Structure formats: C-alpha cells, structure tokens
C-alpha cells in the first residue's frame, strides 16, 4: 500500500515518549524500515519530513491502553506528535485529514528530516553540518585556485 496520493488519515496523538521524537507511526508495508517520508497537506501546501515507523501489534498493545482513545483501523491511522501537526497547519487529533505521504530516502530527504525535527539540537546540528560542508567546499576551491600558475 502506498500513500503517494492524498488519502484520508485519522490522526492520533503521539505517546508521551514520542512527543519529542522525529517520527510518526503508520502502516505502509511498501516503505522500507525506518523510512524517511515527506508529508504534504494538500489543503494548505505545508510539508514536513520525518521518519516513519510501522504500526504493529506491539505498538497497538502499548498504545491502546485505557483511558487513551484506541486505534481500531491501523490502515488509516496516523500517530503524529504536536510538532508535526502544527507544522502541517495546526491539525487536530481525532480528525480525518487528507495527507500525501511519500518516501523520501535521498540524502536531501534525510537532511530535511533533521531540519524539521522537534528537538532544536538536531536542527542546529544539521545546519552546522551544512554550513561546515559549504565552508569546506569554498576552502577546497580556494586551495585548488592557489595551486594554479598565475600569468
């Protein structure tokens, strides 16, 4: 099953231990394990990148504890924290929203997953790495230029 086309997903709040993590939970067997996905809200064009974990029986037994609202249909369930719901346009839990979810396992998708992460230390580290790469390329170019003979 692939969510590449927009389809209604019922949103569920993340577990307490997942509220500051850079992942969502869904069921899509076509995605590789711990795949990076791009989630687009077609209603407003908002986009987030994050890691996708699979809803399985172990997750459901931990999630479906009273007094929490239980997930009865894991095919359409999306467990997502407040950070990503806000970034997608302030989406509320227990609502059905059409979202486009597609794999994005390229180096760019992984970088974007870091820059969209809920924890600031991950976002800062990603940007510092990008700045370091940029400065390294400039340094390499200047070093090569200094070796070229001048007229």
- CA 107 vs. chain centroid, Å, equals 13
Average pLDDT, the chain: 90
- Percent pLDDT > 70 in the chain is 96
Per-residue pLDDT at 1 exceeds 50: no
Cα(111)–Cα(44) distance, integer angstroms: 23
Exposed, middle or buried: residue 37 (CB in 10 Å: 0-12, 13-18, 19+)? buried
Give the three-class secondary structure for 30: coil
- Residues 27-70 pLDDT 10s: 888 888 889 999 999 989 999 999 999 998 899 988 998 888 88
Per-residue pLDDT at 96 exceeds 50: yes
Per-residue pLDDT at 84 exceeds 80: yes
**pTM of the model as a whole:** 0.84
Per-residue pLDDT at 2 exceeds 60: no
Per-residue pLDDT at 137 exceeds 90: yes
Q: Which residue in 77, 114, 106 sits closest to 94, CA to CA?
A: 77
Query: How many helices and strands, by DSSP H and E, does the chain display?
Result: 4, 6
pLDDT at 4: 58
Per-residue pLDDT at 3 exceeds 60: no
- Percent pLDDT > 90 in the chain is 62
């Amino acid at each position: 099953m692939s969510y590449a086309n927009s389809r209604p997903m019922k949103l569920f709040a993340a577990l307490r231990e997942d509220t500051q993590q850079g992942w969502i939970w869904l069921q899509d067997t076509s995605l590789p394990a711990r795949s990076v996905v791009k989630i687009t809200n077609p209603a407003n064009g908002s986009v987030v990148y994050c890691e996708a974990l699979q809803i399985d029986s172990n997750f459901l037994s931990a999630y479906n504890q009273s007094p929490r609202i239980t997930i009865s249909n894991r095919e359409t369930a999306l467990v997502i924290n407040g950070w990503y719901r806000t970034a997608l346009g302030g989406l509320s839990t227990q609502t059905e929203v059409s979202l486009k979810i597609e794999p994005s396992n390229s180096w760019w998708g992984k970088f974007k997953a870091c820059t969209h992460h809920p924890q600031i230390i991950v976002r800062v580290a990603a940007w510092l790495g990008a700045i370091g790469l940029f400065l390294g390329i400039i340094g390499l170019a200047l070093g090569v230029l200094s070796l070229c003979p001048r007229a």
